[in-house]
Amino acid sequence: MKNIFFLLTCFLSFYSNSNAQGYKNPVISGFHPDPSVCRVGDDYYLVTSSFEYFPGVPVFHSKDLINWTKIGHCLTRPSQLKLDKCAPSAGIYAPTIRYNEGRFYMVTTNVSGGGNFYVSTDNPAGEWSEPIFVEQGGIDPTLYFEGNKCYFISNGQGITISEIDIKTGKRLTESKIVWNGTGGRYPESPHIYKKDGWYYLLISEGGTEYGHKMTIARSKSIYGPYQSNPSNPIFTHIDEISQSNPIQGTGHGDFVQAHDGSWWIVFLGFRPQSLLHHVLGRETLLAPVRWDANAWPVINGNGTVNIDMNVPTLPLHPVKQHDFSTNFDETKLGVNWNYLRNPFMKNYSLTEKKGSLRLKASTVTLDDNDSPTFVARRQEHIDFSATTELSLNNAKKGDEAGMTVYYSPQAHYELLLKKSENGKHKLLVRYHMGVLNHIANEIEIPGDKIYLKVKGDKDFYSFYYSLDGKQFNFLSKINVWYLSSETNGGFTGVVLGLYATSPNQNTNAYADFDKFIYKPGDLD
């Protein structure tokens, strides 16, 4: 009887797995814009933009296009990624990942210096090569391999293409503008695919805002002329049908044909959460594509997408959810942590106090276009809580450390511990919004150790503290929209950071963070 039950369970499990249906968007949540994907066998690899954050260009892996694991970054060394004093939302723009003859290529633009370049590897979870730069202007570059040729496509005055030597990056032909889109502003994010003897050129137009859309053209020659799809745009949420959709700003897509022959597209979108403001940034979403022979691709039936996608999928391969929390007992920070610009690594330590992250205060502040002593992870959920245990040591007047809800140097909130004039430690809630600075609450605490908590919901960030890690006391709350892209501009999203700063030269102040606990709202 046990054997029969075991066989029945296996059968039902197989049947369910091989006839999977449905998933939720976004498939990668929180500040993961401009996705690009490639397939190798039944493995899928995806990259997204990273802007001023280091390391650059996160890499994800999946078996089903729905469940993704972050496996590393393409740009992990200063020699690959120079971000010195780069402006907010500058740095690394939209990447593309491609695979050819046993090697992965990631091509992108550093708009803060260097321009278009690519790196390569035979192990996307490992180290990538030094950059090879290409002298073709524009941004959002992509590569297209055919036979022994490689084509480089970017957008500048129009969608521009040339043939390059993939070993050196040297252009072998003059750059040629092949399409200007359908008349929408900012024709960008070009990708070329060959199907049924046609070269299909997919781009985005309208700007990466509420007017974003995807359009497509095709030609029998890679250099054109390209014929625009009469049904353009093939994907947008700007129309009446999607005006109330909880996902907006959809665009910047990349097609992939799955190992079962089906077609899919990854793309970006954002979720407005408070008076049409979004703070999580642009996220990675997924939709099925119908692409009949010699026909134009049709995305999800009507060119829109939903959060709940009730569609057939590949057999699902659930993965262990990445660690939202850490006790800082590792030898180096995990792949979900980032620095602002190129970090000064002497200010960071995981070894000087076991089970703690030590941040050594520097004079660079969160208001500067520089690299403060700061590490952060993305806010990935509208409803969440984040808690840390902090002690501030060797501090003098003005030295501070704490947790920041950070969008840019012009927009961030802090819950912080600061050394005051009388030698005591004060706990502050501080808001920085452009030229406005406001201390919302300030209390004196005994000792130099405190527990800090930030909670987020649709409309507010709320700040709490505890002396024992059990009973938390409310301090203040403020609207989320002051940290939104709509208020501040820019292309990133909110991150939750730990930091230490000092107005004193040659300071010996440091902060120990003994844990960081992040919980989605449904787990809080």
Catalytic residues: 34, 188
Would you say 480 and 456 are in contact if contact means Cβ atoms under 8 Å apart?
A: yes
In angstroms, rounded to a whole number, what is the distance separating the alpha carbons of residues 191 and 201? 6
Residue 334 makes CB contacts below 8 A (sequence gap 6+) with: 323, 326
Closest to 513 (Cα-Cα) out of 495, 494, 500: 500
- Pairing between strand 339-340 and 308-312? unpaired
> Which of 100, 113, 210 lies closest to 148 in space, CA to CA?
100
**What are the two backbone dihedrals, phi and then psi, of residue 84, each rounded to the nearest 5 degrees?**
-55, 115
- Cα 334 to Cα 205, 321, 515: the distances in Å are 36, 14, 13
Q: Which residue has the tokens 């006391």?
A: 473
Report residue 231 as tokens: 């049904």
Does a cis peptide bond (omega within 30 degrees of 0) precede residue 318? no
Q: Which amino acid is at 59?
A: V
**Residue whose structure tokens are 């700063």:** 501
Distance of CA 229 to the CA centre of its chain: 31
Among 42, 33, 80, 34, smallest CA distance to 61 is for 42
Residue 443 and residue 138: Cα distance in Å, rounded?
Answer: 51
**To the nearest 10°, the Cα dihedral for 417, 475, 481, 432?**
-30
Which class for 158: exposed (0-12), middle (13-18), buried (19 or more C-beta within 10 A)? middle
